[in-house]
Chain A
């Protein structure tokens, strides 16, 4: 007011225009602050006019939500027509950027889905526990090996060919409760990106898919504390931010409450019938994030720790098992925007995975352990220039792993095996998204990797042709150089439809050797080595997609074909002279898969519907199996249909339903039995000789939003999993029984199903 008062009699007009420094476009709505009581806003042409006194001398502050604030000195010598350029703010999300592209096909990546937080929690709830992976397996081309969400099969790939990344932390076997739930905390999850192969080279990947989970970067405006009380576990999350929003923190904790049931069951169920009498289960996970925003950067620290502990025994005392597995890790990341067109990301991370099985089988102690550790330094740069969006960088990792420590607890040490591996990986990558025209764009990238094996390494040769190989600590054993190309192209037919195609040749240097007939975290991870080459996969895809916003419908059809090389399967080799070499327990082979995927999404005024159908065939051929003939892969599951519906019954009640139908998996069952040495023995015959019955299940869920003054939000969820009580097989096995009458023996097939009809209730509240 003083300024205006003193200069009211003689005023001078300054005019100007504000432009985007990159595009040179005029910017509407820029706030031009002259003093704390006097400001103007630019018009649609980016122009402004201010009036100041003849003696004015000061600073103009130009601010806009999408641009960096700029301060310009102004006095009577300044030109009457000002020309101000503002620099766009960089969105501080390191893996993807917001673009101004107005079409519906911003991502050039075929076979990629991005699920938002809201989409991730639309599925009916299992045992009161929301799970983001249930939304993931509702997508076409993604299947669960069986009940639960464990062991994803993506486009006919094996469970160990999926990469899971949680805020930059690599997770292996990220499942709780033997695969019933994923380890990802749903309340803190912001989004999940799923790449079904052909993953851009700057992202973590394995042969079959990359599943990249990101947690929230800013606090929920409604509440800082969320609590979910379910029938199986409880989940508490805390979020907050500083007043200037520079500092953000989040912490999530989940834990089972099965001990309550165990205590309760003692009063209700006779011990001999009680599941809990000889079984106990505990799982928990803790994850969190600390962010600090600088003017041009974001420093973040993320961490995760989760564990499952499962103890069980049979009533006869012939079998007892104590199983533990879990991941833990942390990532320190610094993202820096050098300018709006050039950004970089630097991260340092550590993660480890461990599994142990302590058992007592027929009075013999069995101890099996498998461990994996990874240290990683990654530098990634993103440069946008003209029509190019270029990403390049390096990724350095050091691995220390123990694929197998096995002790059978017999006096002789002949049944104790311990394998330690040390490996390093150096990756260099570069990729470019190039927009050739308004309707055609292409992404091309390549990743070069040098993967090395270091000692200690001992190989006991069987004969003169295979001599002993011995290497000391850190002595080089073997290196592999691989180059992984990825190409995607997108052609926009019009504003609502596009054609996409892709090719990739990817490599994987850590392999999951499945050792059980059922999906378990017991499967072991082992690195490429002197005798184990990197496994690889060629993938070719083509697809059509359309997205009509007017009619709220989205559809896509994609065909794919894959050819896998250097596939591994664990075969215990008991020829005495070969038992000393872990690498001799693996058979090498090839595999193929092909199919098509159909996805239709439709939004209604009060609900959504999604239909996903996949037809897929997968087959394998191994040197030591089935006479080297092709056979159906364990993951061969021709038909997979998934229908999801959600509907708002009222402003406070919403319902959801999910129906799944899928062909049964293949498994290996004994083909015949015989007597030998006075014992009954099983003869397996060919591998994967049996297909489980078809899998189908209907789940329903209802959310009731309760009126509350105590809480900011209070929602009661009722869910029923497996509404019509379908007994889907989790696994089958044979048991032999000696009858009371002499010379009578029964062998019976026993099916284990995880989920009968399973109602649950949970209460989600926000403070």
Chain B
């Protein structure tokens, strides 16, 4: 019987294996990763899809970037600008299309047009009014702190929020967490205190370029760190795209995913997003005097740091 039990258990262990599948022929999709933020230049990253089953080295990733596109943005006032391709080593592939004149403005809508490889992609977004927020920290011992945001939510309307954080000690860029997009269903019209999460370590590309690994859990920050926060209001359509993206990321490698799930996109002719952000910026850090545990907000220009 012992022999049989052993066979049974070996059988159970052997039930999962890597397999070789024939690559499915694809027509690569054009992927837009675009943002226009209040009082900030627009940024658009353009890449293309690639076959799923492959080993991707730096050259392969590099070649997914589309550097031959014409990217232009028109705002609701009729102003148009063709974006300029920049090299920015904070990202990989290190290229980004930026406006050099047009900055986002709360209340305006923006149309994106991308022409590449004979395809034309279009998207539309709006920058909502800025959220009413204040930032603070809470020391929790063991050299850790929480970063908090107090939201004064306008009553009687659906509001959607999105935030990113950047640890000056650990990251060159702002990161999103899996909880970065949320709505006001549970605190409509109220003052709501929310604890912020930092970017997750699953972020593959950012893990590669992050110079220091943070061992704290995803809702804790080092008390010796300085945290930059971009807290934004987003339109309902943008929120749907963001929530869909985060849901996908949480279930990407999970076989129990929903068969028909597809990431929401607001790009016509491609996939991805072009999202307007009504952003309020903040800088939070801890000082030893208990009365001064906060922040510089809005008046700190860290434009060049991110």
Which residue numbers of A lie inside 8 Å of B, CB to CB? 127, 231, 261, 264-265, 268-269, 273-276, 319, 321, 361-364, 410-414, 514-518, 520, 522, 569-572, 574-577, 587, 625, 634, 667-685, 687, 689-690, 727, 729-736, 738-739, 742-761
Give the docked Cα–Cα distance between A282 and B15 (Å): 19
Interface pair A749/B64, CB less than 8 Å apart: no
Interface range on chain B (Cβ under 8 Å from partner): 35 or more
Given A625-B260, A674-B29, A751-B19, A733–B255 Cβ distance below 8 Å? yes
Interface pair A264/B160, CB less than 8 Å apart: no
Q: Nearest-CB distance from B209 to chain A (Å)?
A: 9
The tally of CB-CB contacts under 8 A between chains A and B is: 261
Which of A261, A518, A671, A680 interacts with B8 by CB under 8 Å? Answer: A261
Q: Nearest-CB distance from A484 to chain B (Å)?
A: 29
> Hey, what's the 0/1 contact readout for B66-91 against A, CB within 8 Å counting as 1?
00000000000000000000000001
| B21 proximity list for chain A (CB < 8 A) | 732, 749
Given A522-B256, A569-B260, A753-B15, A734–B52 Cβ distance below 8 Å? yes
| A674 proximity list for chain B (CB < 8 A) | 29, 31, 47-50, 64, 271-272
A–B Cβ pairs within 8 angstroms, 23 of them: A231-B8, A274-B9, A571-B260, A574-B243, A576-B237, A667-B259, A671-B52, A672-B29, A676-B33, A678-B205, A679-B204, A679-B249, A681-B248, A681-B249, A682-B252, A683-B271, A684-B261, A742-B58, A743-B56, A743-B92, A744-B58, A755-B11, A760-B8
| B214 proximity list for chain A (CB < 8 A) | none
| A758 proximity list for chain B (CB < 8 A) | 7-8, 11
Interface pair A745/B56, CB less than 8 Å apart: yes
Give the docked Cα–Cα distance between A321 and B261 (Å): 20
Does B216 belong to the interface (CB within 8 Å)?
A: no
Interface pair B5/A231, CB less than 8 Å apart: yes
Interface pair B251/A361, CB less than 8 Å apart: yes
Give the docked Cα–Cα distance between A571 and B244 (Å): 12
Interface pair B61/A675, CB less than 8 Å apart: yes
Closest to B255 in A: A733
Interface pair B245/A361, CB less than 8 Å apart: no
A-B pairs, 8 with minimum CB distance = A743-B58, A672-B49, A413-B186, A733-B255, A674-B49, A574-B244, A751-B19, A576-B236
| B52 proximity list for chain A (CB < 8 A) | 669-673, 682, 734, 747
Which of B56, B182, B248 interacts with A410 by CB under 8 Å? Answer: B182
Interface pair A735/B61, CB less than 8 Å apart: no
| A738 proximity list for chain B (CB < 8 A) | 204, 207-208
Interface pair B259/A734, CB less than 8 Å apart: no
| B145 proximity list for chain A (CB < 8 A) | none
Kindly name the residue among A274, A362, A750 whose own CB sees the greatest number of chain B CB atoms within 10 A: A362
Interface pair B255/A362, CB less than 8 Å apart: no
B 247-284 contacts with A by CB, 8 A: 247-264, 271-273
B 202-229 contacts with A by CB, 8 A: 202-208, 217-218
B 1-32 contacts with A by CB, 8 A: 1-2, 4-9, 11-21, 24, 26, 28-29, 31
Interface pair A734/B176, CB less than 8 Å apart: no
Which of A520, A671, A730 interacts with B256 by CB under 8 Å? Answer: A520
| B173 proximity list for chain A (CB < 8 A) | 678
Interface pair B18/A749, CB less than 8 Å apart: yes
Interface pair B243/A678, CB less than 8 Å apart: no
Q: Nearest-CB distance from B69 to chain A (Å)?
A: 15
Closest to A634 in B: B259
Interface pair A743/B53, CB less than 8 Å apart: no
Give the docked Cα–Cα distance between A412 and B151 (Å): 13
Give the docked Cα–Cα distance between A744 and B55 (Å): 7
Interface pair B204/A572, CB less than 8 Å apart: no
Closest to B253 in A: A735
Closest to B3 in A: A759
Given A674-B31, A684-B261, A749-B19, A414–B271 Cβ distance below 8 Å? no
Does B298 belong to the interface (CB within 8 Å)?
A: no
Does B121 belong to the interface (CB within 8 Å)?
A: no
Q: Nearest-CB distance from A404 to chain B (Å)?
A: 12
Interface pair B256/A414, CB less than 8 Å apart: no
| A679 proximity list for chain B (CB < 8 A) | 202-205, 245, 249
Which of B8, B160, B260 interacts with A687 by CB under 8 Å? Answer: B260
Given A410-B179, A681-B263, A756-B11, A673–B218 Cβ distance below 8 Å? no
Which of A680, A753, A757 interacts with B17 by CB under 8 Å? Answer: A753
Given A231-B5, A411-B194, A759-B7, A676–B245 Cβ distance below 8 Å? yes
| A684 proximity list for chain B (CB < 8 A) | 261-262
Give the docked Cα–Cα distance between A640 and B11 (Å): 26
| A730 proximity list for chain B (CB < 8 A) | 15
Closest to B12 in A: A275
Given A575-B264, A676-B245, A678-B204, A570–B4 Cβ distance below 8 Å? no
Interface pair B6/A668, CB less than 8 Å apart: no
Interface pair A516/B247, CB less than 8 Å apart: no
Closest to B26 in A: A672
Interface pair A675/B47, CB less than 8 Å apart: yes
Interface pair B204/A736, CB less than 8 Å apart: yes
Interface pair B236/A577, CB less than 8 Å apart: yes
Taking A412-B187, A745-B61 as given, write out 18 further A-B residue pairs in contact, using a Cβ cutoff of 8 Å, ordered by the A residue number: A231-B5, A362-B202, A516-B258, A576-B237, A576-B240, A671-B24, A672-B49, A673-B51, A673-B52, A676-B272, A727-B17, A734-B253, A735-B253, A739-B55, A743-B57, A747-B54, A748-B18, A761-B1
Closest to A362 in B: B250
Interface pair A749/B203, CB less than 8 Å apart: no
Q: Nearest-CB distance from A717 to chain B (Å)?
A: 13
Q: Nearest-CB distance from A446 to chain B (Å)?
A: 36
Does B183 belong to the interface (CB within 8 Å)?
A: yes
Interface pair A361/B250, CB less than 8 Å apart: yes
Interface pair B6/A515, CB less than 8 Å apart: no
Which of B5, B56, B184, B245 interacts with A744 by CB under 8 Å? Answer: B56
Interface pair A268/B6, CB less than 8 Å apart: yes
Does B130 belong to the interface (CB within 8 Å)?
A: no
Interface pair A750/B18, CB less than 8 Å apart: yes
Given A677-B176, A754-B15, A572–B247 Cβ distance below 8 Å? yes
Interface pair B16/A750, CB less than 8 Å apart: yes
Closest to A522 in B: B256
Interface pair B237/A575, CB less than 8 Å apart: yes
Interface pair A751/B236, CB less than 8 Å apart: no
Does B39 belong to the interface (CB within 8 Å)?
A: no
Give the docked Cα–Cα distance between A730 and B256 (Å): 12
Interface pair A412/B255, CB less than 8 Å apart: no
Closest to B243 in A: A574
Interface pair B204/A683, CB less than 8 Å apart: no
B 158-202 contacts with A by CB, 8 A: 158, 160, 173, 175-176, 178-179, 182-187, 194-195, 200, 202
Closest to B65 in A: A675
Q: Nearest-CB distance from B262 to chain A (Å)?
A: 5
Interface pair A570/B200, CB less than 8 Å apart: no
